[in-house]
């Protein structure tokens, strides 16, 4: 949907802002450009380095919202076949990821002799295969690019949500009711907030992050209910109580994001304009290639850092100029990458030519 009228402006705002913040966080965290930024603007660069990474929680909440909207738009049990859903999600994530990873490794090879600071010293076949399967963190391999962990966690979270909705389909005789799937998701989200998210050693697995992802899904479903406010209040109290037991900045941000998203969703459902048309269009343009920007900015940063490292007598001000140029170039390249790599990947299926693969679920038994 290219026109602002066909989009969800509140989601565009969150996606666009989160993508830009995480890019700026990486720009002030790696290499000579980061050192120049901290020298020239220590307070601003320090704050972005310290807190910018938290914007990933916004992506998690938005991801949960969109997945719930796509998988179970009315809160009903899962209707599509599980293998097809997981396969298509994997392709949609991994094909652009591998393209960006290949670009990153190619640039790493070019600058390895002059700037080995962020270039992998040794890459094994097993490490490459683990990245292709999005299992590098689970198998204990070092990530070959920043943000690789998020791509893997996104697939895990989607699979967990699909699994819960599949369980609802198996356990409830009336899958059209707004009860089965959302109840299971709420239970899993609260289990994450109260138990799994308090175990840092689990941060390579979906249950650690499902509190944020589940909040996004529940915001979508609560927006369909007559008891939206009461349900949202109960959810906010339960998560706030978990934060009182053990405070976590990231979970607090996820809760705040979910509450704002619920408010913005209600305004949108009432037909009330959230943003002026021109601003909504700008956010839509920035949000569309947000995943492409997330994947592509690091290889651009590698090149820029290598350039700065070779500039004789480079000043912090020169580093700031190069930082801005890197940010602009990454945003510019994200648009064609989205159009020519990410968007085709969403439609590509290498198994589609196999006629014997039937993804459709079997008809339910009449017994």
Q: Specify whether the CB–CB gap between 22 and 66 falls below 8 A.
A: no
Q: Give the global pTM.
A: 0.91
Radius of gyration of the chain (CA): 22
Give the integer Cα–Cα distance in Å for 72 and 84. 15
Report the pLDDT value the prediction gives residue 170, as an integer from 0 to 100: 65
Half-sphere exposure of 202 (CA within 13 A, CB side): 13
Report the pLDDT value the prediction gives residue 139, as an integer from 0 to 100: 95
Residue with tokens 């589940």, as numbered in its chain:
214
Run means of pLDDT, 10 residues per run, the chain, 367 residues: 62 97 96 94 96 96 96 83 93 97 92 71 90 96 94 98 87 55 94 98 97 98 91 97 98 98 93 89 95 97 91 90 97 97 87 56 40
Report the pLDDT value the prediction gives residue 26, as an integer from 0 to 100: 97
Report the pLDDT value the prediction gives residue 353, as an integer from 0 to 100: 62
Give the integer Cα–Cα distance in Å for 124 and 276. 51
For CA atoms 74, 2, 334, 93, the dihedral sign is positive
Q: Specify whether the CB–CB gap between 300 and 329 falls below 8 A.
A: yes
Please state whether 174 falls in left (phi above 0), alpha (psi between -120 and 50) or beta.
beta
Q: How far from the centroid of its chain's Cα atoms is residue 365's Cα?
A: 38
Give the integer Cα–Cα distance in Å for 167 and 161. 10
Give the integer Cα–Cα distance in Å for 272 and 267. 5
Tokens of 147: 């943000």
Sequence-ordered list of residues with C-beta below 8 angstroms from that of 315, at least 6 positions apart, any chain = 36
Burial of 173 (C-beta count, 10 Å sphere; 0-12/13-18/19+): exposed
For 139-175, the DSSP string reads TTPPPSSTTHHHHHHHHHHHHHHHHHHHHHHHH-S-T
Report the pLDDT value the prediction gives residue 6, as an integer from 0 to 100: 64
Q: Specify whether the CB–CB gap between 307 and 322 falls below 8 A.
A: yes
Report the pLDDT value the prediction gives residue 74, as an integer from 0 to 100: 84
Report the pLDDT value the prediction gives residue 349, as an integer from 0 to 100: 78
């Amino acid at each position: 949907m290219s026109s602002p009228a066909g989009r969800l402006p509140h989601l565009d705002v969150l996606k666009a802002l989160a993508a830009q913040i995480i890019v700026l966080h990486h720009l002030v965290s790696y290499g000579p450009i980061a050192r120049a930024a901290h020298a020239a603007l220590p307070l601003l660069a320090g704050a972005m380095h310290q807190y910018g990474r938290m914007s990933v929680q916004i992506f998690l909440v938005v991801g949960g919202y969109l997945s719930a909207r796509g998988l179970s738009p009315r809160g009903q049990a899962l209707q599509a076949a599980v293998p097809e859903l997981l396969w298509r999600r994997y392709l949609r994530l991994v094909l652009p990821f591998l393209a960006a990873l290949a670009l990153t490794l190619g640039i790493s090879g070019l600058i390895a002799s002059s700037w080995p600071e962020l270039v992998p010293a040794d890459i094994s076949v097993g490490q490459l295969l683990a990245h292709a399967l999005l299992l590098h963190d689970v198998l204990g391999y070092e990530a070959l690019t920043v943000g690789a962990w998020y791509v893997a966690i996104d697939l895990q979270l989607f699979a967990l949500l699909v699994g819960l909705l599949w369980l609802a389909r198996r356990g409830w005789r009336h899958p059209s009711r707004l009860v089965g799937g959302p109840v299971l998701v709420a239970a899993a989200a609260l289990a994450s907030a109260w138990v799994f998210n308090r175990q840092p050693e689990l941060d390579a697995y979906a249950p650690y992050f499902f509190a944020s992802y589940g909040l996004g899904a529940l915001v979508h479903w609560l927006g369909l209910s007559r008891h939206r406010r009461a349900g949202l209040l109960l959810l906010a109290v339960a998560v706030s109580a978990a934060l009182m037991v053990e405070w976590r900045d990231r979970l607090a941000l996820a809760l705040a994001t979910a509450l704002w998203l619920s408010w913005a969703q209600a305004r949108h459902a009432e037909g009330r304009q959230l943003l002026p048309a021109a601003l909504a269009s700008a956010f839509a343009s920035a949000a569309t290639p947000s995943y492409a920007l997330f994947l592509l900015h690091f290889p651009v940063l590698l090149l820029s850092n290598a350039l700065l490292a070779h500039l004789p007598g480079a000043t912090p001000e020169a580093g700031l100029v190069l930082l801005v140029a890197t940010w602009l170039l990454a945003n510019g390249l994200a648009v064609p990458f989205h159009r020519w790599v990410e968007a085709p990947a969403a439609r590509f299926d290498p198994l589609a030519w196999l006629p014997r693969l039937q993804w459709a679920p079997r008809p339910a038994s009449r017994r």
